[in-house]
C-alpha cells in the first residue's frame, strides 16, 4: 500500500519505514473526508466472492493490473488531462487485460459468445453514451464515448452499434480475440452445474474521476455475467443504474448482480441522495449498498464533487484502487 497522508507525519514515517515494499491487497485507510484535493480517481475491477485463498501469483497479477491502470489515470490527471479522456484511457487498460471481465477478458454467454456492454457519462452536462451486446469491438468504452460525442443518441446495441463503430473508425476484432481459456472453463462449470468461484461468474471494470477543472466523469465496461441468456443486458450500459455522473454531486460506477442495480437505479440513487438529502458521497454510497441492496449484490466506486472517494461493497471483495492529488495511491481486494 502506498497511501500518503498529511496527517500524523511522525506516525506515518514510522509506518512507512516498517511497510513492506510489495503492495498489500487489504483495504486502504479511508481518505480524510475534509481534505480538499484538486483531482481524484477511483477504479474497480469487479466485485464478488473473491477467494482469499487465491494463489499469490494470481493475486499479484490483479494488484499489478489495478496499479497499472491507476498509474495511467493518476499521471494524466496530475498533468491536467480532461476527466473523460482519463476515464476512457484507464478503462482501455483494464479492457485490454485478460484478468478483468471487460474487453479481452469478457465472460462467455450461455451460447458460448462474448457480448460486451459499456457506458460513459460527462458530469458537466449529463451527456452520455452506451453500447450493449457488441461482440467485435475491441474497446467498448471508446465506442460508448463516440456514441456520446458523435451521435444524436445515447444508446446503441448489437449490430447497429458495430455499424456505428465502423463509421467512427473504432477498432473491431474477430470474435476469437475475446477467447480466454479460464473464462471458457468457467462457462463449462456453470453449464455442468458445478460449484464455481463467483468472481469467475461476473466482474466489470469502472473508473470515476474528478479532474483539475472540477469536472466529474464516469465510465463502466463489462462482459456481463457468465452464462447470461440471449439478449440479456445488465446495469452497466443503463445510465443511472451502473453508471452516472453529475458535476453537482458525484461520478459513480457500479459492479455486481446487474439486475439488482437496475431495480434500484443504484448510481443515480447515490447522486439523488446527495442532491436531495445533502449526504456526502460516502454516506450516500453506504446507504444504497448496505441498506437498499441485498448482501452479496456487489459494490460501487464514486468520487464526489469535492474529491471525496467512496469505495463501498457488500460482497466478500471488490478489486479497487484510488488516487488523488494529496498523494494517495492504493489498491485493495478485500475488506
Ligand atoms: N454488473 C455486471 C452485469 O450485471 C456484472 C458485474 O459487475 O459483475 O452485467
- Res 164: pLDDT: 98
Phi/psi at 244 (5° precision): -165, 150
- Res 35: pLDDT: 64
Note whether 25 and 332 are within 8 A (CB).
Answer: yes
Query: Of 206, 207, 210, which Cα lies nearest the Cα of 83?
Result: 210
Centre of ligand 1 to C-alpha 125, Å, is: 26
Question: Tens digit of pLDDT for each residue in 113-160?
Answer: 999 999 999 999 999 999 999 999 999 999 999 999 999 999 999 999
Centre of ligand 1 to C-alpha 256, Å, is: 5
Q: Which atom of ligand 1 is nearest to 234's Cα?
A: 9
Q: What are the grid coordinates assigned to 5, written together? A: 497522508
List beta partners, residue 309.
Answer: 303
As a whole number, mean pLDDT of residues 316-335 equals 96
- Res 98: pLDDT: 96
Q: Which of 204, 226, 243, 255 is catalytic?
A: 204
Ligand 1, from 258, 267, 293, 298: best to mutate by most atoms within 8 Å of Cβ?
258
Q: Is 204 a catalytic residue?
A: yes
Centre of ligand 1 to C-alpha 202, Å, is: 6
Centre of ligand 1 to C-alpha 31, Å, is: 27
Provide the CATH number for the domain formed by 40-332 in this structure.
3.60.20.30
- Res 273: pLDDT: 98
Q: Residue 6 pLDDT > 50, yes or no?
A: no
Question: Tens digit of pLDDT for each residue in 52-85?
Answer: 888 899 999 999 999 999 999 999 999 999 999 9
Q: Which atom of ligand 1 is nearest to 258's Cα?
A: 4
Average pLDDT of the chain is: 90
- Res 27: pLDDT: 55
Question: Tens digit of pLDDT for each residue in 287-318?
Answer: 999 999 999 999 999 999 999 999 999 999 99
Ligand 1, from 45, 198, 257: best to mutate by most atoms within 8 Å of Cβ?
257
Note whether 39 and 307 are within 8 A (CB).
Answer: yes
Tell me, using a 6 A CB cutoff, whether residue 225 lines ligand 1: yes
Q: Which atom of ligand 1 is nearest to 261's Cα?
A: 1
The pTM of this model reads 0.89
Ligand 1 atom 4, closest CA? 258
Q: Residue 90 pLDDT > 60, yes or no?
A: yes
- Res 291: pLDDT: 98
- Res 321: pLDDT: 98
Centre of ligand 1 to C-alpha 40, Å, is: 24
Query: Of 317, 298, 291, 281, which Cα lies nearest the Cα of 30?
Result: 281
**For the chain, domain boundaries:** 40-332
SS3 of 94, please?
helix
- CA atoms within 13 Å, Cβ hemisphere of 29: 13
- Res 100: pLDDT: 96
Centre of ligand 1 to C-alpha 297, Å, is: 10
- Res 202: pLDDT: 66
C-alpha R_g of the chain: 18
Tell me, using a 6 A CB cutoff, whether residue 222 lines ligand 1: yes
Question: Tens digit of pLDDT for each residue in 10-44?
Answer: 333 333 333 333 344 555 444 444 568 999 999 99
Tell me, using a 6 A CB cutoff, whether residue 203 lines ligand 1: yes
Strand order in the sheet with 309-313: 243-245, 250-256, 298-304, 309-313
Note whether 123 and 131 are within 8 A (CB).
Answer: no
Instruction: State the Cα–Cα distance between residues 174 and 117, nearest whole angstrom.
Output: 17
Tell me, using a 6 A CB cutoff, whether residue 297 lines ligand 1: no
Amino acid at each position: 500500500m502506498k497511501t500518503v497522508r498529511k496527517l500524523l507525519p511522525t506516525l506515518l514515517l514510522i509506518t512507512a519505514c516498517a511497510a513492506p515494499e510489495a503492495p498489500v491487497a487489504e483495504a486502504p485507510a479511508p481518505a480524510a473526508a475534509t481534505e480538499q484535493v484538486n483531482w481524484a480517481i477511483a477504479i474497480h475491477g469487479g466485485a464478488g466472492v473473491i477467494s482469499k485463498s487465491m494463489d499469490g501469483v494470481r493475486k499479484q497479477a490483479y494488484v499489478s493490473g489495478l496499479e497499472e491502470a491507476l498509474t495511467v489515470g493518476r499521471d494524466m490527471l496530475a498533468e491536467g488531462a480532461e476527466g473523460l479522456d482519463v476515464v476512457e484511457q484507464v478503462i482501455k487498460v483494464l479492457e485490454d487485460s485478460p484478468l478483468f471481465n471487460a474487453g479481452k477478458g469478457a465472460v462467455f454467454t450461455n451460447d458460448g459468445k462474448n457480448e460486451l456492454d459499456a457506458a460513459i457519462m460527462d458530469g458537466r452536462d449529463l451527456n452520455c453514451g452506451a453500447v450493449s451486446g457488441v461482440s467485435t469491438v475491441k474497446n467498448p468504452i471508446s465506442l460508448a464515448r463516440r456514441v456520446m460525442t458523435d451521435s444524436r443518441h445515447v444508446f446503441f446495441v448489437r449490430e447497429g452499434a458495430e455499424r456505428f463503430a465502423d463509421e467512427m473508425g473504432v477498432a473491431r476484432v474477430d470474435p476469437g480475440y475475446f477467447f480466454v481459456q479460464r473464462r471458457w472453463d468457467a462457462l463449462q462449470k456453470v453449464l455442468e452445474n458445478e460449484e464455481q468461484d463467483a468472481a469467475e461468474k461476473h466482474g466489470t471494470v469502472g473508473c470515476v474521476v474528478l479532474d483539475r477543472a472540477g469536472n466529474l466523469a464516469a465510465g463502466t465496461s463489462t462482459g456481463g455475467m457468465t452464462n447470461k441468456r440471449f439478449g440479456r443486458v445488465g446495469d452497466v450500459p443503463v445510465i443511472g443504474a451502473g453508471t452516472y455522473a453529475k458535476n453537482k454531486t458525484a461520478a459513480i460506477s457500479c459492479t455486481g448482480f446487474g439486475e439488482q442495480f437496475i431495480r434500484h437505479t443504484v448510481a443515480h440513487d447515490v447522486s439523488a441522495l446527495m442532491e436531495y438529502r445533502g449526504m456526502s458521497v460516502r454516506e450516500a454510497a453506504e446507504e444504497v449498498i448496505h441498506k437498499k441492496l441485498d448482501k452479496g449484490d456487489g459494490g460501487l466506486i464514486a468520487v464526489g464533487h469535492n474529491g471525496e472517494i467512496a469505495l463501498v461493497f457488500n460482497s466478500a471483495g471488490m478489486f479497487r484502487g484510488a488516487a488523488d492529488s494529496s498523494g494517495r495511491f492504493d489498491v485493495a481486494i478485500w475488506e
